[in-house]
Amino acid sequence: MLTITQELVDRIVAHARKDHPDEACGVVAGPAGSDRPERFIPMLNAAMSPTFYEFDSGDLLKLYREMDDRDEEPVVIYHSHTATEAYPSRTDISYANEPGAHYVLVSTADTDGLGDFQFRSYRIVEGEVTEEEVEIVAAY
């Protein structure tokens, strides 16, 4: 189960809305071994695409060095889908290389404001996708 604060959910959804119609992406880091997302790190979608996201390799290297220096790890890796439901695509699954991370997807497909944005979390290990419950809390 992913336990995450309402503030972090709001920031992830706001980033997805801001970058629409392109996919948004980013990381929420937390203390190593804690499974607690704390530090919101929006990233640039280097692909600048409505159907694909890609972290800039230089930005990603910088982020991993920074997390290492702070004794953090990627607890949540998130991105948005702009035209489909919040479920990992084949490409998403093939790029999922953090078996301990929660992979959060936000769907911004409903852009007319009449429906809720989907916010879903998955574990992706060795190509196997498992949806998990999301518990949204006020604080840890």
pLDDT in tens, 42-67: 999 999 999 999 999 999 999 999 99
Class of residue 51 by CB neighbours under 10 A (exposed 0-12, middle 13-18, buried 19+): middle
Global confidence as pTM? 0.94
pLDDT in tens, 86-136: 999 999 999 999 999 999 999 988 645 545 678 999 999 999 999 999 999
Output the CA–CA distances (angstroms, integers) from residue 43 to 1, 7, 28, 130, in the order listed: 24, 18, 10, 25
Indicate if the alpha-carbon torsion angle 74, 80, 86, 90 is positive or negative: negative
Contact 102, 123 (CB under 8 A): yes
For residue 139, give the 3-state DSSP assignment: coil
Output the CA–CA distances (angstroms, integers) from residue 65 to 59, 129, 133, in the order listed: 10, 28, 30
Rounded distance between C-alpha atoms, residue 54 and residue 52, angstroms:
7
